[in-house]
Amino acid sequence: MAIREIVKVGDEVLRTKAKEVTEFNDSLGVLIDDMFDTMFKADGVGLAAPQIGILRRVCVVSVDGMTRYELVNPVILKAKGIQRGAEGCLSCPGRSGIVARPKKMTVQAQDRFGETKLYKVEGYAACAFSHEIDHLDGILFIDKIEQEEE
C-alpha cells in the first residue's frame, strides 16, 4: 500500500468526467487500498480516484474510520430530502462552506471484485457519498457552496 499525492484545485483532472471501470483485477484492489491509506493519512472521510489523478469511476468513503465503502461505478438510484452542512475537500485546502446535499440516498456500486452492492445511507454518510460521486463527474463542492465559511 502506498500514499498517493492528492491533486489540488486548478488541476484539469478534477474537472474531467471519469471513465467507467471495466476490468476488475489486482491493480484495482491496490488502487482502492491506496486510496483508503491516502484518505486516512490526510484525515479525510472520502476520496475519489480523480483526486489522485486517475480518471476512473472509483471512490472510497469511511465516515467513522471503521466502516469502509468502496464504490466502483457508483450510480445514485434515489435521493431524498435536503440537508445543509459545512464541507471541505482534500483537493481544496483552506476552503469550506455550507453545501446542500441529499438527506438520504440509495446508491448502487460495484466492489473491487465487480460484485454489485446496494447502499442505503443517510445523514453524514449521504453527504460524503454525494460529495465523492460528484468528483467522478468533475464537480467540486466549491461549485455548490451556498455560503463560504471563514
CA distance 130 to 107: 10
> Which residues are annotated as catalytic?
132
Q: 3 by DSSP, 3-state: which? A: coil
The number of beta carbons lying within 10 Å of the beta carbon of residue 23 is 8
Instruction: Give dist(CA 56, CA 59) in Å, integer.
Output: 9
Give the total residue count for the chain: 150
- For residues 6 and 20, give the distance between their C-alpha atoms in angstroms, rounded to a whole number: 21
Which residue from 45, 147, 150 is spatially nearest to 98, judged by alpha carbons? Answer: 147
Residue found by looking up cell 445543509 in the block: 84
84 has which bridge partners? Answer: 100
